[in-house]
Amino acid sequence: MNQKPLFKKIDEILHGGDYNPEQWLDRPDILKEDIRLMKQAGVNVVTLGVFSWSVYEPSEGEFHFDWLESIMDNLYQNGIFIILATPSGARPAWLDEKYPEAMRVSSAGVRNHHGVRHNHCMSSPKYREKVGIMIQKLAGKFGKHPGLLLWHISNELGGECYCDLCKSRFQEFLRKKYKDNIDGLNQEWWTTFWSHRFNRFDQIEPPYSNGEGSIHGLNLDWKRFNTWNMTDYMRFEIELLRKLTPDVPVTTNFMRLYKTLDYSVMAKELDLISWDVYPEWENDYEAAVKTANGVSFDHSIMRSFKRDRPFILMESVPSLVNWHPYNKLKRPGTHKLSCVQAVACGSDMVGYFQWRKGRGSYEQFHGAVMDHLGRSDTRVFKEVEEAGNLLKKLQPVAGSIVKPQAAMIFDWNNWWAIEDMAGLSKDKKYGETCRTLYGLFIKNGIEMDVISSDADFGDYKVLVAPMLYLLKPGVADRLKEFTAKGGILIATYLTGYVNENTLCWLGGFPGDGLLELFGLYTEEIDTLYPKDTNTVSFQTEFLHGDYRAFDYCEIIKPQTARVLGEYTRDFYSGTPAVTVNAYGKGYAYYVGTRIGEDGMEALFKKIWEQAGIEAVSLPEGIEYHSRFGNGGSFEFYLNFSDKVQRLTEVKPGKNLITGETVAEVLILEPFDVAVIHSKL
Ligand code: GLA
Ligand code: ZN
Determine the atom of ligand 1 nearest the C-alpha atom of 255.
7
Strands (E), 100-153: 148-152
**Are 23 and 54 a contacting pair, CB within 8 Å?**
no
pLDDT band at 582 (very low <50, low <70, confident <90, very high): very high
Q: Is the CB of 353 under 6 A from ligand 1?
A: yes
Q: Which of 50-59, 548-557, 624-633 has the lowest mean pLDDT?
A: 624-633
- Report if residue 630 sits inside a domain: no
Residue 437 structural domain: 406-611
> At which of 370, 397, 424 does a domain end?
397
Q: Residues 437, 563: one domain? A: yes
Q: Is the CB of 320 under 6 A from ligand 1?
A: no
pLDDT tens for each residue of 334-377 = 999 999 999 999 999 999 999 999 999 999 999 999 999 999 99
- Report if residue 673 sits inside a domain: no
Residue nearest to atom 7 of ligand 1 (CA): 276
CA of 3 to the centre of ligand 2 (A): 43
- Nearest ligand for residue 85 CA: 1
Q: What integer pLDDT is reported at residue 132 of this predicted model?
A: 98
CA of 475 to the centre of ligand 1 (A): 36
> At which of 334, 368, 397 does a domain end?
397
Q: Quote the mean pLDDT of the chain.
A: 97
Mean pLDDT value of segment 398-422: 98
**Are 178 and 225 a contacting pair, CB within 8 Å?**
no
What is the sign, positive or negative, of the torsion defined by CA atoms of 135, 138, 140, 144? negative
CATH of residue 494: 3.40.50.880
Find the catalytic residue in 57, 156, 188, 447: 156
Catalytic annotation present for 315: yes
Q: Residues 131, 233: one domain? A: yes
Q: Residues 381, 440: one domain? A: no
**Are 297 and 628 a contacting pair, CB within 8 Å?**
no
Q: What integer pLDDT is reported at residue 1 of this predicted model?
A: 64
Residue nearest to atom 4 of ligand 1 (CA): 353
CA of 501 to the centre of ligand 2 (A): 24
Integer Cα distance of 158 and 168 in angstroms: 20
Q: Residues 374, 418: one domain? A: no
User: SS3 of 630, please?
Assistant: coil
Mean pLDDT value of segment 136-152: 98
- Report if residue 236 sits inside a domain: yes
Which residue of 119, 315, 369 sits with most ligand 1 atoms within 8 Å of its CB, as the best mutation to test the pocket? 315
Q: Residues 349, 498: one domain? A: no
Q: Residues 357, 425: one domain? A: no
How open is the CA angle 644-649-651, to the nearest 5 degrees? 105
CA of 181 to the centre of ligand 2 (A): 25
Q: Is the CB of 316 under 6 A from ligand 1?
A: no
Q: Residues 276, 301: one domain? A: yes
- Report if residue 452 sits inside a domain: yes
Q: Residues 46, 99: one domain? A: yes
Q: What integer pLDDT is reported at residue 437 of this predicted model?
A: 98
User: SS3 of 260, please?
Assistant: coil
pLDDT band at 308 (very low <50, low <70, confident <90, very high): very high
Q: Is the CB of 366 under 6 A from ligand 1?
A: yes
- Report if residue 434 sits inside a domain: yes
- Nearest ligand for residue 119 CA: 2
Q: How many domains does the chain have?
A: 2
pLDDT tens for each residue of 250-276 = 999 999 999 999 999 999 999 999 999
User: SS3 of 113, please?
Assistant: coil
First to last CA, the chain: 11
pLDDT tens for each residue of 369-393 = 999 999 999 999 999 999 999 999 9
- Report if residue 493 sits inside a domain: yes
Centroid of chain to Cα 22: 30
Integer Cα distance of 557 and 175 in angstroms: 41
What letter would DSSP give residue 127? Answer: H
Catalytic annotation present for 156: yes
Find the catalytic residue in 101, 188, 315, 601: 315
pLDDT band at 680 (very low <50, low <70, confident <90, very high): confident
Q: Could you tell me the CA-to-CA distances from 623 to 345, 440, 441, 677 in Å, in that order? A: 11, 11, 11, 17
Q: Residues 428, 368: one domain? A: no
Asked whether the predicted pLDDT for residue 249 surpasses 70, the reply is yes
Q: What integer pLDDT is reported at residue 458 of this predicted model?
A: 85
Strand pairing partners for 407?
449, 463
> At which of 586, 611, 636 does a domain end?
611
Q: Residues 330, 416: one domain? A: no
Asked whether the predicted pLDDT for residue 649 surpasses 90, the reply is no
Asked whether the predicted pLDDT for residue 669 surpasses 70, the reply is yes
- Report if residue 201 sits inside a domain: no
Q: Is the CB of 321 under 6 A from ligand 1?
A: yes
Q: What integer pLDDT is reported at residue 617 of this predicted model?
A: 84
Strand pairing partners for 583?
586
pLDDT tens for each residue of 424-453 = 999 999 999 999 999 999 999 999 999 999
CA of 164 to the centre of ligand 1 (A): 30
Q: What integer pLDDT is reported at residue 2 of this predicted model?
A: 74
- Nearest ligand for residue 122 CA: 2
DSSP 141-195: HHTT-TTEEEEE-SSS------SHHHHHHHHHHHHHHTTT-HHHHHHHHTTTGGG
Q: Residues 286, 410: one domain? A: no
CATH of residue 271: 3.20.20.80
Q: Residues 480, 501: one domain? A: yes
- Report if residue 196 sits inside a domain: no
